[in-house]
Structure 1
Amino acid sequence: MIPRAIKRLFHQVSIGDQSYRFMFERGPADEVVAIDCETTGLNVHTDDIVTIAAIRIRGNRILTSERFEAVVRPEADMQPEAIKVHRLRQVDVAEGPLIWKALPSFLHFVGGRPLVGYYVDFDIAMLDKYILPFIEIELPNPRIEVSKLYYERKYGDAPPNTSIDLSFAAILRDLDVPALPQHDAFNDALMTAMMYVALRDMKERGIRIPRVRTYDVFDPTGG
């Protein structure tokens, strides 16, 4: 696998549409963008995006007024399991534009800001599937994974064999983030933004998330 830094340099040279060179500019130092996508399934190669949401974060402020949302019409059929998750049927997205029409607005919205997400590599891989043929580069933005930030705050000093839970629900619970209806792209992006702000604040203040201590209890009966 080509290291991301080398790939970024290659894309700076090979970008097809020069009007998108701004993607390689870092943007405001205190801004990041939380993103989320809902898809027809979980296969990057055969499934498509149906909704995209992005929310800017400036310092410790989540700017819900500065957001990007799009419902797009997929070329792939909606998988039954995906419908159960995000509750969007084929008919619900049939009137949306194809993703190619939404990409320019999305790319101008995020610019070169770091992208924050929960298992963000999947969302970026889905987006890159369309962005690469569109402007001949993949998203060059730095990535910030909230599950990694959470792991550092809760399990970074954990002893071996500690049980680890990186689920979305566990992070919400430990950070006391309100649980909005999930698998809605905007709600998921907003909850992810709140996780990021809380975790960054904890890191700056040197605070760790407490773990429940478990002890082996000796049973003389051997049970």
Structure 2
Amino acid sequence: MFSFISKLKTKANFSKLKDKNFKFLFDEDKSGELVVVDTETTGLNTKKDEILSIGAVKIKDNKILTSQTFEVFLKNSKEIDSSSIKIHGIRPFDLKNAKTTKEGILEFLNFVGSRPLVGYYLEFDVDMINKYTKEILGITLPNRMIEVSEIYFDKSISLIPQGNIDLRFDTILKNCDIPNMGTHNAVNDAIMTAMIYLKLTKER
């Protein structure tokens, strides 16, 4: 039933595609790769805030393809709040040569293709990206999504039944024995998330 409804939604989404050059987004993925994605934004309001940068890295055969990372900085219409700079470290100067949202989003879509997406609280990142893809192409991302915090929760709940499970990123890193790479930029966060994903899925 779910599969049928999912197919209907995908078909409806495809019918809204403005540029048929991007119909490859709806193709069956045969690459055997996953794309781990992270965004840095001006805030956490998907309706009002904007993307400052997108970082991504590919996984194939249980290996992180560090030679195939993606990073793009996007121009934004608002001043960057000083409190958010403390989180993502992106200063107005860093966006001096940033790309337009259209250029950056289309580059990202070409990098991702129809590969499944992996992320930490991925729904937020995808919602932010969808805000732009709707405007540019008329569609939302059709890619399958894999949430690492859900995998972590499922593994942890069997060890701590009815316990409170801490799903903070730094806690998951620590409990998975993964080194913190420091600066929380989009690419570093994508790589660390990829390491979490591989750690959790290898031990399943």
Give the structure-2-normalised TM-score.
0.92
Secondary structure in 1 aligned to 2:106? helix
Structure 2 unmatched runs, 5+: none
Contact 1:41–1:81 at 8 Å: present in 2 too? no
Give the one of 92, 112, 128 matched to 1:126. Answer: 128
Counterpart residue identity of residue 186, structure 2: A
Does residue 47 of structure 1 match 2:71?
A: no
Secondary structure in 2 matching 1:34:
strand
Cα distance in structure 1, aligned partners of 2:7 and 2:168? 29
Cα RMSD, aligned residues only: 1.6
8 Å CA contact 2:115, 2:143 repeated in 1? yes
Preserved contact between residue 37 and residue 119 of structure 2 (Cα < 8 Å): yes
Written as runs of structure 1 = structure 2, the 5 A alignment for 1:92-131 is: 92-131=94-133
**Displacement after TM superposition at 1:5 (Å):** 5.0
Alignment partners' CA distance in 2, 1:174 and 1:180: 15
Q: Look up the match of 1:35.
A: 37
CA distance in 2, matches of 1:50, 1:112: 23
Partners of 1:42 and 1:57 lie apart in 2 by 27
Structure 1 runs not aligned, ≥5 long: 204-223
TM-score where L is the length of structure 1: 0.84
Question: What residue is the counterpart of 1:188 in the other structure?
Answer: 189
1:23-172 aligned within 5 A: 23-28=25-30, 30-156=32-158, 158-160=160-162, 162-172=163-173
CA contact (8 A) 2:156 2:165 kept: no
- The answer as to whether partners of 2:118 and 2:145 remain within 8 angstroms in 1 is yes
The letter of the residue matching 2:13 is H
Identity of aligned residues (%): 38
Q: Tell me the secondary structure at the aligned position of residue 14 of structure 1.
A: coil
Hey, what does 1:218 align to over in structure 2?
Answer: none
1:169 partner amino acid: D
Q: Deviation of residue 31 (structure 1)?
A: 1.1
C-alpha deviation, 1:29, in angstroms: 5.4
Between structure 1 and structure 2, the one with the greater Rg is: 1
Aligned to 1:101, the other structure's residue is in SS state helix
